[in-house]
C-alpha cells in the first residue's frame, strides 16, 4: 500500500480528492488489498501493553498502593474527550448496550424501539435483557426514519438508536421527538466514535452513549466497550453492573460514594469489566483519533468521488451538520433485481473488491436484517425493505492508500455501469 500523497484538491466537508483519480477505465485491473486488514497497534500502545504484562496486574482492581489502573485512566480520558461526566470501560460494545438498558431500568417483557437497519448485537442486547425490540424504519440516506419513529413513539419508553455504519440522523429532531414522548435514548455509537452532530460528539445527546473497540472499529483492542453518561444514577448502576464488586471508589470517572449507597444493594454484578491490557492499548489510540478520522475521511472522499454519477447507483447524502467517520461507505442499487445486484457483487469480487449486501435472501456474515431476528416478531416494513434490498456496504480500512481507494471506485463504477447497461433495474417487488 502506498502513501497518501496525491496532490489532493479540497472538496466539500473539508475532505480532499485528487480529480485525476477517476480517469482510468481499464476493465481488467484487479485490486489485491485486504478489506479486513487493520493497521498495526501503535508502538506506544504496544510498549504500554508490555509494561502492564511485565507488572502482571491485568485485572483493573489489582493495583499497588498509590497506583491508578490503566482502565480507570482510560475512562477518565474518554470522559474528558467526549465531555461526559462519567465513563465505564467494559468487555465489548454489545455488553455496553445491555448494561445501558439495565442501567436505565428496562425490565424483562418491556418493549424497546430500535433501528430496522443495524447489526445483530443491537437487537441481541435488547433480547439479552428479556425485552422486545420494536423496529423503526430506515430512509434512503440510511438513517432512522423519523416519521416512523414519531408514529411508534407511544410503543416504548426507551429507544436504542443505532448510528448504523456511521450515519447520523437529524439528532435535533430525534431528541425533540423523544423528549416530547418521554423516551430515554441510548446511542449505539459503535460506528460513530469521533463523529459529531452540530459539533456535539456522538453519544452525548442520549442519556447514554455506547462504543465498541472491537477490531473493525475506530480504535482497536480486539474487544472492548465504553459507556458514557451524565446521569449519576445510571453511571453508578453501570459500574455496579459491570462487575465492580464494592471497589467502585477506584473509578475516576464515577459519581461520589453517596450515589453508590443508593444502588449498591439492589444492582446485580453482571461481570463484563475491561482489563488493564486492553485499556493500555486503547489510550494512545484515543489520543490519535482525530487524525485517524481525517485519514478515513480522505479515503471516503476518494471513493465517493469515484462513484459519483455512476448510472443506477445512489450515494447517501451527508448533512452539513454531520461530522462523520468514513471507515466504511454504502451506496444503494435501489430497485435493482436481486439477480442484477448479485451480478455486480460477483463481478466486483472477481476483481478483488469485497462488497457486502443487506438484500440477500439469507443473512450472511454481518449482514442480517430485522426479519432475520426471528426471536423478535416484526411486521413487514415495505419502504424499509426496499432500501435494505439495495444497500451495498464496503469497509475502508486505513491500510488502503488513496490510490487503492481510487482503484476500488473505478472497479465498482465499471461493473455497476456494465450490469446497469445490460439489464436496467425494475422494481424487484
Residues that bind ligand PLP (CB under 6 A): 92-94, 118-119, 121-122, 162, 164, 188, 190-191, 212, 214, 225
The nearer residue to ligand PLP, 153 or 227, going by C-beta atoms, is 227
d(CA 90, CA 305): 38
Where does residue 178 rank: exposed (0-12), middle (13-18), buried (19+ CB within 10 A)? buried
Shortest Å, Cβ 161 to ligand PLP = 11
DSSP 264-332: TTTS-----B--HHHHHHHHHHHHTHHHHHHHHHHHHHHHHHHHTT-TT-EEPP--TTEE---SEEEEE
The nearer residue to ligand PLP, 93 or 194, going by C-beta atoms, is 93
d(CA 225, CA 244): 15
d(CA 329, CA 289): 19
Shortest Å, Cβ 270 to ligand PLP = 15
d(CA 403, CA 385): 35
The nearer residue to ligand PLP, 166 or 312, going by C-beta atoms, is 166
Q: Is 152 a catalytic residue?
A: no
CA nearest neighbour of 283 among 10, 17, 79, 63 = 79
Shortest Å, Cβ 36 to ligand PLP = 13
Shortest Å, Cβ 195 to ligand PLP = 13
Contact in structure between 130 and 106 (CB atoms under 8 Å): no
C-alpha pair distances (Å), 226 with each of 22, 193, 255, 278, 325: 39, 10, 16, 12, 18
The nearer residue to ligand PLP, 96 or 263, going by C-beta atoms, is 96
Other beta carbons within 10 Å of 421: 10
Shortest Å, Cβ 125 to ligand PLP = 8
d(CA 287, CA 101): 29
Count the helices and strands in the chain (H runs, E runs).
13, 16
Catalytic residue among 2, 10, 217, 356: 217
The nearer residue to ligand PLP, 217 or 351, going by C-beta atoms, is 217
Shortest Å, Cβ 165 to ligand PLP = 8
The nearer residue to ligand PLP, 190 or 408, going by C-beta atoms, is 190
Q: Which residue has the cell 496525491?
A: 6
The nearer residue to ligand PLP, 92 or 316, going by C-beta atoms, is 92
Shortest Å, Cβ 164 to ligand PLP = 5
d(CA 87, CA 108): 25
Report which secondary-structure segment, H or E, holds 188. Answer: strand 184-188
Pairing status of strand 158-162 against strand 322-323: unpaired
Measured from each CB, the residue nearest to ligand PLP is: 93
Q: Among all residues, which ones are annotated catalytic?
A: 217
Amino acid at each position: 500500500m502506498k502513501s497518501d500523497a496525491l496532490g489532493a484538491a479540497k472538496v466539500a466537508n473539508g475532505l480532499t480528492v485528487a480529480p485525476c483519480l477517476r480517469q482510468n477505465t481499464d476493465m481488467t485491473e484487479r485490486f489485491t488489498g485486504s478489506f479486513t486488514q487493520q493497521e498495526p497497534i501503535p508502538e506506544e500502545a504496544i510498549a504500554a501493553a508490555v509494561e502492564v504484562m511485565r507488572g502482571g496486574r491485568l485485572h483493573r482492581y489489582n493495583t499497588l498502593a498509590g497506583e491508578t489502573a490503566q482502565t480507570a485512566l482510560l475512562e477518565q480520558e474518554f470522559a474528558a474527550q467526549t465531555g461526559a461526566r462519567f465513563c465505564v470501560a467494559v468487555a465489548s460494545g454489545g455488553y455496553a448496550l445491555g448494561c445501558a438498558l439495565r442501567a436505565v431500568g428496562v425490565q424483562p417483557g418491556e418493549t424497546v424501539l430500535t433501528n430496522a437497519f443495524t447489526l445483530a448485537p443491537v437487537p441481541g442486547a435488547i433480547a439479552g435483557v428479556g425485552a422486545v425490540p420494536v423496529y423503526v424504519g430506515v430512509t434512503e440516506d440510511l438513517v432512522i426514519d423519523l416519521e416512523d419513529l414519531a408514529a411508534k413513539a407511544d410503543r416504548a419508553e426507551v429507544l436504542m438508536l443505532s448510528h448504523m455504519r456511521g450515519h447520523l440522523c437529524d439528532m435535533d429532531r430525534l431528541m425533540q421527538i423523544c423528549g416530547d414522548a418521554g423516551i430515554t435514548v441510548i446511542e449505539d455509537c459503535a460506528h460513530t466514535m469521533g463523529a459529531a452532530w452540530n459539533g456535539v460528539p456522538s453519544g452525548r445527546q442520549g442519556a447514554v452513549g455506547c462504543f465498541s473497540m472491537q477490531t473493525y472499529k475506530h480504535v482497536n483492542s480486539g474487544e472492548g466497550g465504553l459507556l458514557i453518561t451524565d446521569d449519576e444514577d445510571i453511571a453508578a448502576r453501570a459500574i455496579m453492573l459491570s462487575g465492580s464488586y464494592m471497589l467502585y471508589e477506584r473509578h475516576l470517572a464515577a459519581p461520589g460514594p453517596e450515589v453508590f449507597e443508593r444502588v449498591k444493594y439492589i444492582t446485580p454484578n453482571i461481570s463484563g469489566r475491561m482489563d488493564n491490557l486492553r485499556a493500555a492499548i486503547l489510550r494512545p489510540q484515543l489520543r490519535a483519533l482525530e487524525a485517524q478520522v481525517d485519514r478515513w475521511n480522505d479515503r471516503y472522499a476518494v471513493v465517493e468521488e469515484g462513484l459519483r454519477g455512476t448510472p443506477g447507483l445512489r450515494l447517501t447524502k451527508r448533512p452539513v451538520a454531520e461530522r462523520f467517520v468514513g471507515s466504511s461507505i454504502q451506496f444503494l442499487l435501489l430497485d435493482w433485481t436481486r439477480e442484477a445486484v448479485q451480478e455486480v457483487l460477483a463481478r466486483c469480487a472477481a476483481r478483488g473488491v469485497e462488497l457486502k449486501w443487506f438484500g440477500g435472501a439469507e443473512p450472511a456474515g454481518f449482514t442480517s436484517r430485522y426479519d432475520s431476528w426471528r426471536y423478535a416478531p416484526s411486521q413487514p416494513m415495505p419502504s424499509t425493505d426496499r432500501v435494505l434490498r439495495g444497500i451495498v456496504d464496503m469497509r475502508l480500512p486505513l491500510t488502503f492508500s488513496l490510490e487503492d481507494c481510487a482503484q476500488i471506485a473505478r472497479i465498482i463504477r465499471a461493473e455497476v455501469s456494465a450490469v446497469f447497461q445490460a439489464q436496467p433495474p425494475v422494481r424487484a417487488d
